[in-house]
Structure 1
């Protein structure tokens, strides 16, 4: 049956709707172009920052001791301190934007951030989309459980077969879970704080997380324990968008300067009570004299 002819009033209404939709789509396209294009290098913006003179940096507020929020919500932590120090030496400001791991990495590729300042594990998969600074830390991976209940007595990875194991979406631990606990029951969370909360209330049996992060949560919640830990095969670093070689080179130069003048060691001792792993010493030989107790 043929469609009934539209009235002149309907035509006008349809035209208005089409115009509104077109304007809306146009706005989205323009917004996408604006948020997806980082600044171009120039005399007054040599690092190609989104905003000249300011590093727009993605960070987290629930990843102690690398990046977390203080009582006022201000970003603090080891990686934040390193970022602030590097920016100060480059005579730049830092504008922190709190997001998740996946949000930070996606934002870098979309041109929404100049830098990701949190404890990011350097993995081959991530290196396909972003570029990493030289190593800032070498971590471990830990299974965190409560002290009570059946999981409180497990002391090896195999013991978590069939158990609900929490992991943060997009984290390096998510990628390690199938290898470490191949028969575990993964439960994914957007933030570490949420995962710890669910662990404490018994909704999950364990939480696979970085070793330093686990220690910080154990300080906050006395009912938590480390069931088992293992070394990782990659460093922890900051990340920049692909192709931003000027910013990457400048950050690496400042990190190297901090290692040489002892600033890095001072920041390290502020947040960690263990000596650097041998792999980090190998990456930065000057640290050997600053941490004589390191292996």
Structure 2
């Protein structure tokens, strides 16, 4: 059913001739589709299928809207081909989009060159001014659902949890990706080139575009970088964002609030996020190792000037 639906949205004479599962998806199954034209030329599309989620139609509606909004902007997002958010034509709710070149890069090697690129890309995303604002951001983590890692710094975690019990700071709204992190950014890295030759070729996974504080997107990427590469990289990303022209909250308390709110959210998903990282080659990032790195980052944020 899904392939028949996809074929109806291709150019005249084109047909889907192959599928390949893609790794890394958490909320959906991802597949690369090979499309063949009558003259033998081939191209690829990406199919996102949401198999088991009550709000699949909402996710896909929002992603379709974001991809439509970003067409023609400086943000390298996929182009929307078709969407079936309620599974009216497919076996499951599905979205079909163009495939962007490049690959995710999660290795420690070259991170110093990639961080400024990530920062500049996020500044460009926050510069998008939609005619209709997306949904206000949602912070699902609460002080009562945080999972303190075994052996974590009790004083730092207690202070962080107390901080997010306070009302969220006022902010100037921006267009947010809401899951901007290295796993959703594609890079072109020349095989024989130096890390400085890397460039961003795409930003993917636009299922939760939101309106909210730039600090929240920055905090999310910072948390991921801190766990992937070490706590200092979370701080270096925030610095790089400002160096690229991004504007963060003015006060230290506000900045700390957003950074720990995102980091504490990861405490509830350690096993969920560490799996795709190990599949991508970071086999040392077991749930225990991720929890230890998260503890080190939360402690550093609570003890440092941010």
The structure with the greater share of residues assigned to strand is 1
Do they fold alike, i.e. is TM over 0.5? no
Which has the greater radius of gyration?
Answer: 1
Q: TM-score range by the shorter chain?
A: under 0.3
TM-score, scaled to structure 2: 0.23
